[in-house]
Each structure stands twice: as C-alpha cells, then as structure tokens.
C-alpha cells in the first residue's frame, strides 16, 4: 500500500485565523500540537496521522513587514517554510483590506501549489465573498480559493480533501505514534533510555531511570546533563563498563539521535547514581513522575 506524506505551510497575517483553521482541519486527529517543535525550518503545529498518509502542518510567524532584526529572522523562517512546502495555505480575513503586498512578495519565491482561504465569512455577505474570491483568483492565480468560516467549521472539509488529493507519495516524516504534548527534556530522556534498552541486557534497563538535570538551549548547541539512576552498585558498574566504555557508547549513540531530533549540536554529559530500591520508594516514584 502506498503512503503519502507532505508539509503544508499555513501562512497569513496575524489574526487571520490560522490557528482556528488549524484546529478545525485536524480536529480530533491531531497527534502533535506543540509550541516548540522548532526544527530548522518549520514550526510544527500539528501532524495528522492516518494509516496511509501523514500531513505535517507547519505554521509560519504571521507575516509582517520586518521592523527590526528579530522580525527579519522570523521572515527568513517564513521563506524557509515556503521553500519545502508541498502546499501553501494562505489564510486571509474577509474583512481585511487588500494590503497583502508583503504576503505577495513572500509567495513569489514559492513553487508549491497555493490555496487561498478566505476566512470569517460568517461576518460578511454573499456579494463581498464573491468579490473577494474574484480578487484572489485574479491576483494570485491560485490552485483553489475557499471561502470558509473556521470558527463554524464551514467548508473546512473541502480544504482537507484537496490537501489529501495533493499529497505526494512519501514515507512518513515523523514516527506515526509521535504524541508530542511532551517537552524537549522528555525526548532527551527517552532517547537515552532507548539506548540503554538496546545496549544492555537482562534486568539493567528495568532498574534504571533517566533524569534530565539540566537542559540549556544556546542558539548553536543544547547542553544536556542526565542522571542515570540505578538501584545497586553492581548495576552501576555494569552501566559504566570497564574504563567507562559502556557509558561512552550510550552517550555517543544518544547524542547522535538528539542532534538529529533537535536539529542542532548537542553536548551531553551523563552521571550514574545509585538510589537503593528507588522503584519501591514512593517519594522517588513521585519525583520521577510516576505518580500524581
């Protein structure tokens, strides 16, 4: 069975209704909504996973004329997310004046199919809607124009159908069961834990807990410190290995995966700590997030 996957960039001015549209589009199917899946190019808003497809919706900062450096970098990001989008959804507010020249400039560089979405038609009348549709068809010659009310979920399914029809054949970009309401620390600890399961045998993985004690985000590098907690000295010795060999191995593999995941350099330091029988001690379980 073939699988389709792609990036859909949602662009538009601040308050055009991008996030309302987003929520309407993905509805209950949402598996990721994260403020911070900041890979190099995308601010991922949501990923819709079905057996045979995956849609990665990515947001761009509301398009504005850059007034200072920070906004400049935000605008580069907008351009970046247009470059590798498989489809661009431009969300406009029916009641906005046609002052979208800054948006037009951005779109010039994009070869992706463009769909214009005229939002908030519940606050308008038929004549205005017709005029707006004609205006956008004339100005941008998009693949399609939809007049919708994201708030009332009106005409949203039609957009979804078009997105699905346009998705290229591609394997999924992200794990299918990637439920990310979790933060980056959680992922860092999961990655280390996974390596421990792969590298050690028997009861070792089940006696360990991984705690991220520091997670410092510098622009170029993440500095991550982790404690691997075990129950007995003998486990500590196995974990560390002769001359630190085994722990080094865990660190190398974990760091590689983290760099891929966070899309930047990672400095990782790990310590092994013995807490006798931590698994049977309520206060530790609580501290490690196992109990409410």
Instruction: Tell me if 52 is assigned to a ligand binding site.
Output: no
Strands 144-147 and 114-119: parallel
Instruction: Tell me if 168 is assigned to a ligand binding site.
Output: no
Instruction: Tell me if 192 is assigned to a ligand binding site.
Output: no
Instruction: Tell me if 19 is assigned to a ligand binding site.
Output: yes
Residue 1 in contact with residue 36, Cβ under 8 Å?
no
DSSP letters spanning 37-98: -B-SS-EEEEEEEETTEEEEEEE-PPP----SHHHHHHHHHHHHHHHT-SEEEEEEETTS-S
Residue carrying the six token digits 């400039």: 105
Instruction: Tell me if 14 is assigned to a ligand binding site.
Output: yes
Instruction: Tell me if 64 is assigned to a ligand binding site.
Output: no
Instruction: Tell me if 183 is assigned to a ligand binding site.
Output: no
With a CB cutoff of 8 Å and minimum separation 6, the contacts of 182 are none
Residue 16 in contact with residue 23, Cβ under 8 Å?
no
Instruction: Tell me if 243 is assigned to a ligand binding site.
Output: no
Residue 30: strand pairing partners: 48
Handedness of CA 111, 112, 113, 116 (dihedral sign): negative
Strands of the chain, DSSP E:
4-12, 30-32, 43-50, 53-59, 87-93, 114-119, 144-147, 209-217, 221-230, 265-274
CA separation for the pair 274, 291 (Å, rounded): 21
Instruction: Tell me if 121 is assigned to a ligand binding site.
Output: yes
Instruction: Tell me if 15 is assigned to a ligand binding site.
Output: yes
Closest alpha carbon to 185 in 271, 261, 285, 284: 261
Instruction: Tell me if 119 is assigned to a ligand binding site.
Output: yes
Annotated binding site for GTP, which residues? Answer: 12-19, 59-63, 119-122
Annotated binding site, which residues? Answer: 12-19, 59-63, 119-122
């Amino acid at each position: 069975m073939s699988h389709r996957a792609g990036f859909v960039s949602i662009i538009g001015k601040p308050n055009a209704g991008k996030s309302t549209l987003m929520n309407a589009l993905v509805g209950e199917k949402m598996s990721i909504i994260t403020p911070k899946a900041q890979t190099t190019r995308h601010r991922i808003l949501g990923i819709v996973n079905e057996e045979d497809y995956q849609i990665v919706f990515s947001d761009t900062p509301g398009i504005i004329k850059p007034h200072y450096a920070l906004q400049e970098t935000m605008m580069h990001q907008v351009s970046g997310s247009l470059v590798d989008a498989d489809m661009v959804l431009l969300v406009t507010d029916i009641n906005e004046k046609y002052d979208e020249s800054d948006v037009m400039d951005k779109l010039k560089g994009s070869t992706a199919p463009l769909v214009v979405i005229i939002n908030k038609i519940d606050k308008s009348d038929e004549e205005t809607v017709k005029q707006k549709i004609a205006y956008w068809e004339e100005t941008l010659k998009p693949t399609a124009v939809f007049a919708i009310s994201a708030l009332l979920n009106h005409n949203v399914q039609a957009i979804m159908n078009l997105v699905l029809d346009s998705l290229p054949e591609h394997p999924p970009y992200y794990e299918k069961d990637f439920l990310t309401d979790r933060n980056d620390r959680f992922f860092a600890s999961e990655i280390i834990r996974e390596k421990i399961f792969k590298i050690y045998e028997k009861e070792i993985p089940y006696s360990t807990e991984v705690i991220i004690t520091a997670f410092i985000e510098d622009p170029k590098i993440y500095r991550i410190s982790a404690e691997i907690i075990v129950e007995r000295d003998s486990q500590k010795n196995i974990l560390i290995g002769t001359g630190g060999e085994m722990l080094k191995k865990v660190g190398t593999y974990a760091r590689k995966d983290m760099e891929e995941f966070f899309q930047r350099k990672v400095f990782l330091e790990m310590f092994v700590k013995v807490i006798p029988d931590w698994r049977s001690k309520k206060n530790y379980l609580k501290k490690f997030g196992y109990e409410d």
